[in-house]
Amino acid sequence: MSDIGLNSHGRKPATGGAGSKATATKSQRQRSGKKESVTKSHQQIVSNQGKSAMKFKIDVIRVREKHIQLNGWAVGKDPMSAAEFKVTEENGTPVNFKAVSTRRDDVSMIYYKKVIDRDLGFDITFDYERGRTYCLYIICENQMKRVKFNEELIARRTSVAFKRREKI
């Protein structure tokens, strides 16, 4: 579940060319219909196959002296599905965080073609120490996505070039 090379929807670009005999990548296994499981707090989550049902985006990353604030949204195919969040250090140690749900009518109009009476957005704040790497896990509809945060990745995600490539 590496986040390097993920686009704004949490997907890896396709790899390997025609005639390649290399081992199948995660995205190739998903397209072939094979199930893959990941662990979440001692229970198994089996990801849906094919096109990802869950979509998410981190809109804003604010780094303060000792805190980081993430604003974004997460949706599933079902408008009533709720996203759960978990923040850890890179080694898996849980990090205390505060999550506040926010109203995102713009997102509901794009993905559901109507305003949904649900808070699809999030505002997550946690303690941040420069030089360390943190992971945000977003869990929705039996899928889990990981987004890593460290100084280099934050600088890359907040660059103008990255924002030009992103789509809602």
Q: What is the pLDDT of residue 130?
A: 86
Q: What is the pLDDT of residue 109?
A: 94
Alpha-carbon gap, residue 149 to 127, rounded angstroms: 12
Q: What is the pLDDT of residue 127?
A: 94
The stretch 76-105 carries a mean pLDDT of 94
Q: What is the pLDDT of residue 166?
A: 60
Question: Does residue 93 contact residue 134 with C-beta atoms inside 8 Å?
Answer: no
Which of 140 and 46 is assigned the larger pLDDT?
140
- What is residue 74's three-state secondary structure? strand
The stretch 148-154 carries a mean pLDDT of 86
Alpha-carbon gap, residue 118 to 82, rounded angstroms: 9
- Per-residue pLDDT for 16 more than 50? no
pTM score, two decimals? 0.65
